[in-house]
Amino acid sequence: MIRLKDVEMEYPNGTRAIRGISAAIEDGEFVFIVGDSGAGKSTLLKLLTREIAPTSGRVFVNGYNLAKIKNKKIPYFRRSIGMIFQDFRLIPDLNVYDNVAFVLRVTNKSKKTIRHRVPYVLNLVKLADRAKSYPEKLSGGEKQRVAIARAFASDPKLIIADEPTANIDPALSYDIVKLLKEINKCGTTVIMVTHEHSLVEYFGGRIVSLKNGEVIFDEYVEGEAQDE
Ligand code: ADP
């Protein structure tokens, strides 16, 4: 669950990147966040992951009050979020299996859990046969599918995808969103920032549009793919 109450974010240079946003996202929702460059999308994501704190207002994510959270608790809070980036951020000297297993190892998951969970998520993203490949041997679409498997491996409450289709073949963008939709059906809340209007029109759902740090549109839109 996410709650924003009268959130303002002013950077030290005086730029008001977020101007009074109040919004709620319930568990299990899939939300597209759209808006032109400079609209405040990255700033909003940074507020949700507590990379930055708001100048005023309140931000609640996954049961944490981010205005009051203690620094030592931030790493635990972040474990409740799976992140997907436009530049994939895989570890180049680990193979696909170990890239996914890594997040489970650093959070001290048991060997049994890792042996069970890693093949499960690689199968979900249809990369079970590439488990031993290194990132450099993968296409952009495959790298992003590994990143999705990694984000989902620890079964987080929330997945945040920051322009996940920006660096992959446009024809494969749909597969990436379909995977995120599948993960969403397992109960994980998904927030996806995108520039690609064609994707948003195709999939539909809840669309939040930002402009100059404000929400100018927040509605459910029927997509062309509704009957799929
Ligand atoms: P978007 O992700 O939608 O492109 P951003 O959140 O990056 O938008 O930026 C929103 C506004 O905040 C822009 O005017 C941008 O120039 C400004 N901004 C972003 N980051 C910083 C920063 N670290 N310091 C000062 N201004 C910033």
Burial of 152 (0-12, 13-18, 19+ CB in 10 A): buried
Whether residue 13 has its Cβ less than 6 Å from ligand 1: yes
C-alpha–C-alpha distance, residues 214 and 127, integer Å: 39
Ligand 1 centroid, distance to 208 Cα (angstroms): 18
Q: Is the CB of 40 under 6 A from ligand 1?
A: yes
**pLDDT 10s digit of each residue in the chain, 228 long?**
999 999 999 999 999 999 999 999 999 999 999 999 999 999 999 999 999 999 999 999 999 999 899 999 999 999 999 999 999 999 999 999 999 999 999 999 999 999 999 999 999 999 999 999 999 999 999 999 999 999 999 999 999 999 999 999 988 999 999 999 999 999 999 999 998 999 999 999 999 999 999 999 999 999 998 655
48, 59 in Cβ contact below 8 A? yes
Mutating to test ligand 1, I would choose from 8, 9, 10, 15 the residue with most ligand atoms within 8 A of its C-beta, which is 15
Dmax over CA atoms of the chain, in Å, equals 51
- 216 with 210: CB under 8 angstroms? yes
pLDDT computed for residue 226 by the predictor = 61
Residue 15 beta carbon below 6 angstroms from any ligand 1 atom: yes
Q: Which residue has the least CA distance to atom 25 on ligand 1?
A: 11
Residues 164 and 140: beta-carbon distance below 8 Å:
no
Q: Give the global pTM.
A: 0.96
Name the closest-CA residue to atom 16, ligand 1: 38
Indicate if ligand 1 lies below 6 Å from the C-beta of 164.
Answer: no
